[in-house]
Chains A and B, each alone.
Chain A
Amino acid sequence: MYSLFSRDLFAEFDRLQRELQQSFGTMSPSIRGFAPGFPALNVGSTPRSVEVYAFAPGIDPARIEVNLERGVLTIEGERAGVLPTDDDKATAHVNERFEGRFRRVLSMPDDIDPGAVNASYRDGVLHVSVQRRESAQPRRIEVQ
């Protein structure tokens, strides 16, 4: 079995988080928490960048707003619903998909370069790539 983001690591992370929450009552490790919502987010990092994937299908890319301000990345927008209005002669039997305005906020590490952000939207996934500053990248130092 393969997995998108290593599962063992996350099983471990979940366990740690549960333990933390138990020992601190309802206190969350991050002030904004990570309440699941729309769009779902996956976050990863490389030595050169921070990669954010927002699973936001069915949205006009022109209506997604991505802002990076003071180290905080905000993704917001609106998704139109498909449900029938009262005067349509139609019935909604199942209604699980998100509709309406959404906004998710993520704090970025200190070493990012706010001028080097790239956002692309493909197959309903918004990918935001934020470069880290040159000076913060690991550098091999020659020993004379």
Chain B
Amino acid sequence: MNTRAVTETKANTSPSREEPALLPPVDVIEDATGITLYADLPGVPKDRLNVRVEGETLLIDADLVLALPQDMQASHAEVRHTHYRRAFTLSRELDPGQVSAELSQGVLRLRIPKAEHAQPRRIAVQVA
């Protein structure tokens, strides 16, 4: 019934990065022409964000960069890793070649349009 256009893929993304990573919260919204994905990536500068599509998998990899004073001692931490990672499997009607991404104030906005042939088309009903 609910055929999600974007489904989450579990871990196994890139075996080279085994260290624990933060799982960024996301919102996924679908409209007639595509999918918009928002991900919270606070502390990620543009040059440390890596969004890519490998086959059917959409991968988000990013580094959290904070300028901490050198002699700082941590007294409380709710964010304890410096890497974000999350993967999703794209469904076939989406066009992986047309993904656009923008990062603003720690929020990533991804737009994944549906392929031309998957766009909604009104079907005229013929009167017999």
- Chain A positions near chain B (C-beta within 8 angstroms): 1-7, 9-10, 34, 36, 39-47, 49, 51, 53, 55-59, 82-84, 88-98, 121, 123-125, 127
Are A58 and B107 closer than 8 Å at their CB atoms?
A: yes
Roughly how many angstroms separate A62 CA and B78 CA in the complex, as a whole number? 25
Q: How far is the CB of B101 from chain A (nearest CB, A)?
A: 15
Closest 9 CB pairs of A and B: A124-B106, A57-B106, A5-B74, A124-B42, A58-B107, A96-B25, A5-B77, A94-B28, A55-B42
* B30 contacts A by Cβ under 8 Å: yes
Kindly state the separation between the CA atoms of A56 and B106 in the bound complex, as whole angstroms: 8
- Other A-B pairs, 9, CB within 8 Å; known A39-B42, A58-B107, A124-B41: A3-B81, A40-B79, A44-B68, A44-B72, A49-B69, A57-B40, A91-B31, A123-B106, A125-B106
- Given the known A-B contacts A42-B77, A58-B40, A93-B5, are A51 and B27 also in contact in the complex, defined by CB atoms under 8 Å? no
Tell me if A10 and B29 are in contact (CB < 8 A): no
- Interface of B, helix, strand, loop or mixed by DSSP: loop
B105 to chain A, nearest CB (A): 5
- B residues in contact (CB < 8 Å) with A: 4-6, 19, 25-32, 36, 38, 40-45, 64-66, 68-69, 71-82, 104-107
Interface-centre pick from A4, A9, A58, A88 (highest chain B CB count, 10 A):
A4
Tell me which of A47, A83, A125 contacts B66 (CB under 8 A). Answer: A125
Q: Are B42 and A56 in contact (CB under 8 A)?
A: yes
Most buried by B among A9, A45, A49, A57: A57
CA distance A37 to B68 in the complex (A): 22
B30 to chain A, nearest CB (A): 5
Assess the B79–A55 pair: CB atoms within 8 A. Answer: yes
Q: Which residues of the partner chain B approach A39 to less than 8 Å between Cβ atoms?
A: 42
Partner of A42, one of B28, B38, B79, B106: B79
